[in-house]
């Protein structure tokens, strides 16, 4: 099962566009939209007004969606215009629209009379079959106004089992009883209010989140193997490094928009992803997010240390502080051997600095022959193809700017273009980062 997080923020997102608090200012480089997710490209978990466009920004079409699940009727979770967008395409495939009455009542008049749409009203205790998925409907603790009939979802397929738990305060006793022993692959649990505990709303703050998670572990719903992801995050939370540290005390982590979580059968197959981007495009941060769910990662750092270069040292320091403590960093340019023998998921950052090191080794800048560099590229591509674990590689996209003024610059650009092309051809996913936004490129 593959879960693409279309949004991980609260109703006002994080940062709030009208706010200049310290939390919002710190989050300006990592915008979170309203919480929603796309499962296996066929099922939407909540579909607020921002969700359809978020899918497009992350390189996904919604044309294959056959099931839309709403948790409740609040406007950040129900964007009925999506149904009208679908109607305008003349889609003839069946669509299930599932949710409590507060959500479905807002959607019915957005559907054409001949649209093949089936409305499925649900309440806690229901057990529904949707294509390849089994859906168990659970009680939430959320709101007495519109959306007061909020529900949570236990979603299972041959590819895994997840718990979608937004929006809710501390879970009702009946929900704890219903999830006992579930052993979820992943839990997406709302955590709206951070350190603000006097909100009086039926949402989680950080202490309540920790308490709920403790109970879920005690009843066997969450195990040591469960990926626990905090969603519905708002500016009441501390800046992300502090939030990450607090959540890690509960073996949880904050979700990120555009992050792909793979669980169950879909998560066991090795996949290879190439992340391209220009300077400061967010390519390294996105690559790290792709592996955030892994309990252990080997980080292949090819840049090394440059004596007497404080700016480079600061870049390295920032990268290191961003990585989880469970990650192991290996500084090496012998990347091929590391790829072939990897036993844990692996992040290679980056191909550009690796290529520079190989060109240095073969004295290309001094007129040395290129045969050695081409042989190294061939060996690296072969090792990438044979890598037995989940692997993500980062590289610079250098072919879109001005033509380098020097012959050595043009040579590096051309060789990196060749390397990127060959690695892309051996990858399952290729992502281009532009201004912090991931664009998934078609893979033949």
Report, as residue numbers or ranges, the catalytic residues.
319
* Residue whose structure tokens are 């809710």: 168
CB 152 within 8 A of CB 178: no
Among 188, 257, 183, 251, smallest CA distance to 222 is for 183
- By the 10 Å C-beta count (0-12 exposed, 13-18 middle, 19+ buried), 99 is classed as buried
CA distance linking residue 415 with residue 395, whole number of Å: 12
Among 31, 28, 26, 30, smallest CA distance to 239 is for 26
The maximal CA–CA distance of the chain, rounded, in angstroms, is: 75
CB 154 within 8 A of CB 133: no
Q: How far is CA 427 from CA 91, 185, 285, 392, 406, in A?
A: 32, 25, 19, 9, 31
Q: How far is CA 205 from CA 178, 208, 232, 254, in A?
A: 23, 5, 11, 13
């Amino acid at each position: 099962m593959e879960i693409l997080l279309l949004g991980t923020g609260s109703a006002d997102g994080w940062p709030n566009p009208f706010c200049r608090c310290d939390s919002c200012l710190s989050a300006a480089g990592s915008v979170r939209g309203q919480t929603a997710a796309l499962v296996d490209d066929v099922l939407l978990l909540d579909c607020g007004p921002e969700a359809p466009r978020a899918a497009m920004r992350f390189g996904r079409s919604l044309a294959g969606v056959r099931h839309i699940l709403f948790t409740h009727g609040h406007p950040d979770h129900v964007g009925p215009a999506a149904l009208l967008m679908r109607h305008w395409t003349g889609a003839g495939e069946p669509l299930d629209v599932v949710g409590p009455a507060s959500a479905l009542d807002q959607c019915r008049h957005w559907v054409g009379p001949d649209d093949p749409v089936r409305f499925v009203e649900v309440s806690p205790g229901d057990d529904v079959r949707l294509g390849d998925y089994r859906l168990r409907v659970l009680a939430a603790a959320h709101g007495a106004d519109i959306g007061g009939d909020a529900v949570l979802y236990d979603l299972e397929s041959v590819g895994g089992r997840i718990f979608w738990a937004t929006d809710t305060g501390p879970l009702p006793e009946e929900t704890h009883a219903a999830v006992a022993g579930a052993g979820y692959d992943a839990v997406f649990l709302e955590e709206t209010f951070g350190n603000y505990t006097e909100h009086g709303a039926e949402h989680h703050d950080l202490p309540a989140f920790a308490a709920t998670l403790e109970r879920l572990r005690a009843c066997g719903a969450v195990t040591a193997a469960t990926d626990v992801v905090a969603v519905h995050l708002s500016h009441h939370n501390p800046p992300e490094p502090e939030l990450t540290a607090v959540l890690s005390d509960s073996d949880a982590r904050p979700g990120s928009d555009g992050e792909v979580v793979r669980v169950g059968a879909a998560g066991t197959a090795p996949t290879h992803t190439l992340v391209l981007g220009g300077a400061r495009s967010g390519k390294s941060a996105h690559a790290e997010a792709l592996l955030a769910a892994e309990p252990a990662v080997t980080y292949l750092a090819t840049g090394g240390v440059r004596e007497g270069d404080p700016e480079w040292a600061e870049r390295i320091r920032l990268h290191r502080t961003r990585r989880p403590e469970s990650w192991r960093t290996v500084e090496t340019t012998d990347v091929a051997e590391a790829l072939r023998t990897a036993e844990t998921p692996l992040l290679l950052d980056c191909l550009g600095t690796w290529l520079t090191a190989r060109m240095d080794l073969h004295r290309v800048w001094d007129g040395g022959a290129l045969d050695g560099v081409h042989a190294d590229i061939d060996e690296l591509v072969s090792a990438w193809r044979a890598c037995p674990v989940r692997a993500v590689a980062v590289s610079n996209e250098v072919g879109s700017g001005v033509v380098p003024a020097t012959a050595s610059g043009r040579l590096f650009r051309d060789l990196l273009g060749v390397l990127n092309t060959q690695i892309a051809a051996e990858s399952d996913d290729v992502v281009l980062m532009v201004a912090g936004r991931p664009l998934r490129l078609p893979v033949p």
